[in-house]
Amino acid sequence: MLKWTIIFVILAFIAAFFGFGGISTATETIAKILFFVFLVLVIISLITGRSNKV
């Protein structure tokens, strides 16, 4: 999930650099949503004591 957040942040920066305002705003919004979903899932995982050990 964090990987997708980073990808969308990078896309937002690239779109902003080239002057695509609408696309930049959309990707930034998606990145923010994904980050907060990731954050909530991490907190839930820490509270319940579950971890994915690879």
pLDDT at 12 over 80: no
Task: Note the pLDDT of residue 48.
Answer: 84
pLDDT at 32 over 80: yes
Tokens of 47: 């509270």
- What residue ranges do the domains of the chain occupy? 2-48
List pLDDT tens digits, range 15-29.
778 777 777 788 888
* CA dihedral of residues 41, 42, 48, 52 (deg, nearest 10): 100
Q: What DSSP letter does each residue of 1-54 carry, written as one string?
A: -HHHHHHHHHHHHHHHHTT-HHHHHHHHHHHHHHHHHHHHHHHHHHHHT-----
Give ∠ CA 38-41-46 in degrees, rounded to 5: 125
